[in-house]
Each structure stands twice: as C-alpha cells, then as structure tokens.
Amino acid sequence: MLLEELIQAARGEIEADLLLKNAQVVNVFSGNIHHADVAIHHTRVVGFDSYRARQVIDLEGRYLCPGFLDGHVHLESSMLRVSEFARVVVPQGTTTVIADPHEISNVLGLDGIRYMLESSKYNPLSVYVMLPSCVPATEMETAGSKLTAEDLAAMWRSDWVIGLGEMMNYPGVIFRNWEVLNKIKVAGDRPIDGHAPGLSGRDLCAYIAAGIRSDHECTTAEEAREKLQLGMYIMIREGTTARDLENLLPVVTPNNASRCMFCTDDRHLPDLLNEGHMNFVIRKAIRLGLDPITAIQMATINTARYFGLRDKGGIGPGLRADLVVFDDLHELNVQMVFRGGQLVAKDGMLLPPKEKPQDVPLRSSMNINWQKTGDLKLPAQGTKAKVIGAIPGSLVTESLLEEVKVEDGLAVADVERDILKMAVIERHLASGNVGLGFVKGLGLKRGALGSSVAHDSHNLVLVGTNDKDMLLAAHEIEHMRGGLVVVADGHVLASLPLPIAGLMSESPFEEVNEKLQALLAAAHELGSPLHDPFMSLSFLALPVIPSLKLTDKGLVDVTQFRFVPLFED
C-alpha cells in the first residue's frame, strides 16, 4: 500500500475498504471506552469517523479491541502444527504470538527453527520468533542439537525474528560463560527474554545487567515485586501446569501495570479448547478483580511495546487492523476477529484462508540404540533413594528421601506408597544413555505412561509400575516416530502419534483432541489423579527448574546444578 493512499483514505479523499460502525472502542492508549466508527484501508486503521467505505459492518454497540498477543509461547506444547494452532486460537481473539521454538530446536536445531518460520506463512496468525538461547538447555542432558551464536547468525536476517529467547542458563550468565555471553552480545538491542526462577539479590542484578529484560518464571508476589523494582518486565503466565495468575495479580497496580503482560508459555490442547487462550487469561484476570481495560492492555499494547512491534497492540491511525469484536466486557465472548483488516474468524470458527499454509517436510527424530539401552532394570545400591516429588499444578518438584522397595536385588516401583519407576532414554544420537530413578505423586496403580515430549531435550520419558510396560511404551513411541502412550499389562491402551520432531501431530486438532482425551482417560483409569499427567511428566526431565529432575545422564539436583547419586545407605 502506498503511503499516499493511506493518507488519502485517512483524510476521506478516497473510499476506505471497510467501516466498522457503532463500535465501543476499547482504547488501550487513553484507557477508556468510547463510541466510534472505525475505518480501515488495506491492512491499516485510518481513522474514527463516518468514512465512505466499500464495505460497512454494523457492530451494533459491541466492543472492539486490539487483537490479543501472547508474550511467550512454545507452540510445540499444543502438539499442533502452526496452521492447526491458528484454527484454535484465532477465533478466540489471538492474532499474534511471540513464539520461542526452543523445543523443536533442541530436537532438530536450525532445521527446527526454519520449519517453524516456513510453516507459519500464509496463516491468519502472526508468528514472531525469539531465537532459542539455550540449545541445549544445559550440559546435563543430551539434546539433538547444539546452537552457538554463530549458528544463529543467519536467522537474525528474518523480519519475523525479533529477539533472543528465554535465557534459562542463568548460571552461565552470572558466571560469565563465554558462549552464553556471545549470544547476548549478538542480540544487540533486541529484546532478550529471561527465565530465572527464584533468582534474587546480587545474582539477579547481574542477570539483569547483562541486558535481560523480562521474566515469566515468577511464582510469588515477592519475587515479581523484586524483579519489577529492578526494571524487568513481568510476564504473568497462565499455562496448563504452571498457573501463576492468581498469585501474581496482586502485584499489578495502576503504577506498574504497563510493565506487566500475559503469556501462556506451555498450554495443552484440551485447555485451549475448554478454557481458551488469551481470552481465557484476560477473563480470569477480570474475575480476580483486575480492571477490564488494564487486563486487555496486558494482552495487547504492553506486549507490543516490549517487543518493539510498533504497528500492533492498539487501535489507531496507521496501526495494523488486528481487531477483536465481543459483546461483554467481562466475559469476552469473541464474535469476530480481523487480521490486517480482513475478517478471518466469526462465531468461533476460522474462515477459509485465501492461501493454504505450506506443508514443510522434516526428517524423523527417533534414533535409539536399544542394545545399549538395556532392560531398564535397576540394581539396588542402598536402602534409601532420592525421589522426585511431583507437585500438582507446578513445574517445581520436591527432593524426597524414601525407603527403597527391593525385589531380587532390584529397586522397583512401590505402588502402595505411590513411588513409581522413572526412565529417560536418549533418542537423538543413539548413545544408549538411560537415566533411572523414582517419582512420587503421579498415582498410577498399574501400567506405564510414555512420552517423547520431555522438556527441554525431549528424550523419551517413561513412568510406570513395572519395567515391561515401560519398555513397551518406549518401543511404541519409536514406532510412531514420537508421541504419547498409555500401556498396561502388555497392551497399548491409548496413543497419539507426534511425528513432527516427536512433538507435534500432522492431524487436525479435532483428531488430536480426541486421542488426547482417550490418553487422559486411560491414565486416569490406571489411577493418576492429575488433571494432565502428561504435562507433568514432560517437565520431570527439565534440569533448570528446581529441585530434583532426571535426565538421560542421571539424577540432577537443580538447586546445586550438579548430578547426585540416586541411592543413599
């Protein structure tokens, strides 16, 4: 679009393309709601007035606000390819996401980043990318790739790459690891996202001094207040396992709200369908007492400003016409969604796109050395063992010390005390690495669960009551080229293939959801009381969030950032 034409349309010298009449405009700049007609030409808003237009839509007094932005999301956690993710979230009002392809990069490296960029084309969802800063996340696990600052250099040229993703290796920052610092330096003045749970005092100051400006890992109000006072932007996360909104919302005041924004981080498909995406987060914040306009600002203009997306996040002349129409300021029942001035969703359904999203081929990511992997048997080497204590609704785990159940000299699961066997099998380099341990809190009474979604390196993670079912689960995952599985008594009860890097499905979201529901039902039938045991399972191998985790290389005490022995005398 020519600049001259935009100016002509704003002055009313030529017809605008679209006029949205009788709107209650949620103005995130002035912080009020005002009645107006909104004129759009090509992809941009041009003014508030009764312009001549080729098309007129009467909103009949309904609310009009900017399209919602998710400030930090791993699209892979939905287990959907980008086009299917868009089918779910765009009708709910999300028009832009800031994606960190950290998960697929840990499996496929630069090929994974390119896949996410290419498969995001021709979708009714703007997908901006923060380049993964921690591939691998640590040296305490085996990832499928290692990305240096030099490896990422070519990616910075893309218009859709806008910053450096969450810097999980905060010890690498504060102790000045040269590879970590090099990635920060080449990011220049672009946004750098943080990931520093529990970091405080001088170490936090050092972390921020390196140029890291946001954090989405706050779980307490005290932690969020300290980070705000030191100049960080706070992303309040409401995902599937990590739900921090209720704890952090008291921190938000009229004086600091502009430095707060919403994100989902990791949100599973059933919650996207049953609760919603950013519309759900805004709605919940309002129900918890946040001013509705402030809540909308935290999902629109605040996010756009932090990431430097100067043409997004608000409704005003020259800004991109990403817009949401809804009828109730508290319930946010989304009725229409516009992206770039085009109606892309109506009454909960995505309209057929003008251009079909691309299918981007990827190689298989399953490479397991079964000869070296063995049978998962664990010789008892002490009377007590360190046990991972799973905490419902949290990524944090406890470090427990429990008596070991021993049979024929082998340490085994103790179902009566809810102490299950756990294994992490390396699947990238055929190293044969296997980490063995125990976990408490998943509640299985029989059978096993398995997944190729295991943050952050996404090796196979297995939990079960016996070795045979755990091995069967592992082989089934390999056969599917990745996925989730529930096994009991030597039979596969439910499964979901995830052939895209072992993380995402090639199927429509309806089919994925159906299989997910069958998986959850099967897991619950085996005794797990958790809302989503697979989401909890996927974080038990993540050695960057306290306190005890298991990787393919062994048991990790995250608070000490070192391997620790499983058994104690």
| Chain segment 515-565, per-residue pLDDT in tens | 999 999 999 999 999 988 998 899 999 998 889 999 999 999 998 889 999
- When pLDDT is averaged across residues 278-299 and rounded to a whole number, the result is 98
- When pLDDT is averaged across residues 246-272 and rounded to a whole number, the result is 96
- Measure CA 518 to chain center: 23
**Residue 544 confidence (pLDDT):** 81
**Residue 361 confidence (pLDDT):** 85
pLDDT interval class at 2 (50, 70, 90):
confident
CATH dotted code for 67-309: 3.20.20.140
Q: For residue 297, give every residue at least 6 positions away whose Cβ sits within 8 Å of its Cβ, in sequence order, or none.
A: 28, 31, 257, 258
**Residue 201 confidence (pLDDT):** 97
**Residue 215 confidence (pLDDT):** 97
pLDDT interval class at 569 (50, 70, 90):
confident
CB 519 within 8 A of CB 533: no
- When pLDDT is averaged across residues 7-21 and rounded to a whole number, the result is 97
- When pLDDT is averaged across residues 375-395 and rounded to a whole number, the result is 92
> pLDDT for 421-477, tens place per residue?
999 999 999 999 999 999 999 999 999 999 999 998 999 999 999 999 999 999 999
pLDDT > 90: percent of the chain: 90
> pLDDT for 106-124, tens place per residue?
999 999 999 999 999 999 9
CA atoms within 13 A on the CB side of 319: 25
**Please, what is the average pLDDT of the chain?**
95
**Residue 395 confidence (pLDDT):** 78
Largest CA distance in the chain: 88
**Residue 1 confidence (pLDDT):** 57
- Whole-number Å distance between alpha carbons of 435 and 454: 13
Four-CA torsion 345, 349, 352, 355, nearest 10 degrees: 60
**Measured CA angle at 497 (ends 496, 499), to 5 deg:** 155
pLDDT score of 18 more than 60: yes
pLDDT interval class at 11 (50, 70, 90):
very high
Q: Give this prediction's pTM.
A: 0.93
Helix crossing, 509-525 with 82-89: angle to 10°? 90
432 CB burial (10 A radius; 0-12, 13-18, 19+): middle
> pLDDT for 184-234, tens place per residue?
999 999 999 999 988 999 999 999 999 999 999 999 999 999 999 999 999
- When pLDDT is averaged across residues 301-307 and rounded to a whole number, the result is 98
Q: How does DSSP classify residue 23?
A: E
Domain assignments of the chain as residue spans, ordered by start: 67-309, 370-568
- Whole-number Å distance between alpha carbons of 220 and 324: 32
- When pLDDT is averaged across residues 259-270 and rounded to a whole number, the result is 94
Name the phi and psi angles at 506, rounded to 5: -95, 0
**Residue 311 confidence (pLDDT):** 96
> pLDDT for 34-79, tens place per residue?
999 999 999 999 999 899 999 999 999 999 999 999 999 999 999 9
Cα–Cα nearest to 43, from 402, 323, 353, 458 = 323
| Signed CA dihedral, 513, 514, 520, 524: sign only | positive
Cα–Cα nearest to 232, from 246, 217, 242 = 217
**Residue 233 confidence (pLDDT):** 98
pLDDT interval class at 154 (50, 70, 90):
confident
> pLDDT for 130-139, tens place per residue?
999 999 988 8
CB 425 within 8 A of CB 474: yes
